[in-house]
Amino acid sequence: MRVFIGYDHLENDAAKVAERSLRAVSPSVDITLLDVRALRNAGLYTRQAFSDTNQRYDSIDMRPFSTEFSFTRFLIPALTQWTGTALYTDSDVLFRRDVAPLFVQHDELPRSHSKAIYCVKHDYSTPSDMTKMRGGLRQFPYLRKNWSSVMFFDCGHRANWFLTPHMVNTAYGRELQQMFWLDDNEIGSLDGQWNWLEGHGSPDIDPAIVHYTRGTPNVPGHSDTPFSDEWWSYL
């Protein structure tokens, strides 16, 4: 069971909590941090960016993006040689339950029924907060927003053959985040517990993965967010 966690050197504490909480609930998983510097050194990631104050902009489509792993996540099928399955999450998450059921449920599906990607299909086109994370990064509405923040890949699915390193490094960034290479019928649904957005998710859901998309509990103004005691216990 392979799990990839996005890594941004400015959010090191968040990545520590994500990795430690995952190891606590799923000790048998194989964890990889998607470190953009290592991917660059390996020649797998060549996209360039520029900054204006604390906001990053993609040099290809000139649109803003938030983290170093905004686009590296789409290299996962290539990193697995387009074989097997893999789970991806952003680093600003807290794992509260074993992720093994995601892999087991997929393995029990007939091959012909498998989707290229499974995700929680948030109705989140207009964020309730226009800033997020450390430094108050601006949020922007777009189609399928936050769908790609937790993804379960069928890496060998024919549709994911499109995600070559060349394509990930040259496609418009916003189109990657919108999963433009997939038709609607190639995207499967995950239960809301697997990507519960703090500040947006239903209070009736007991989350397996808490996603602090507005800011982790160590960010000023977010110390009293739900499950913050659990988050701090891993740091």
- Over the stretch 164-190, which tens digit does the pLDDT of each residue have? 999 999 999 889 999 999 999 999 999
53 pLDDT higher than 90: no
Phi, psi of 210, rounded to the nearest 5 degrees: -90, 125
Pairing of strands 85-89, 2-7: parallel
CATH no. of 2-234: 3.90.550.10
Predicted pLDDT at 82: 97
> To the nearest whole percent, how much of the chain has pLDDT over 70?
91
| 95 contact partners, CB below 8 Å, separation of at least 6 | 18, 21, 22, 24, 25, 26, 208, 209
Please compute the mean of the pLDDT values over residues 13-33 and round it to a whole number: 97
Average pLDDT, the chain: 89
Alpha carbons 55 and 70: distance in angstroms, whole number: 13
Using 50, 70 and 90 to split pLDDT, how confident is the model at 62? Answer: confident
Please compute the mean of the pLDDT values over residues 6-14 and round it to a whole number: 90
Spell out the domain ranges in the chain.
Answer: 2-234
Count CA atoms closer than 13 A to 100's CA, side-chain side: 8
Q: Which residue has the higher pLDDT, 198 or 68?
A: 198
pTM of the model: 0.89
Q: Helix, strand, or coil here: 191?
A: coil
**77-129, pLDDT tens digit by residue?**
999 999 999 999 999 999 999 999 999 999 887 777 789 999 999 886 555 55
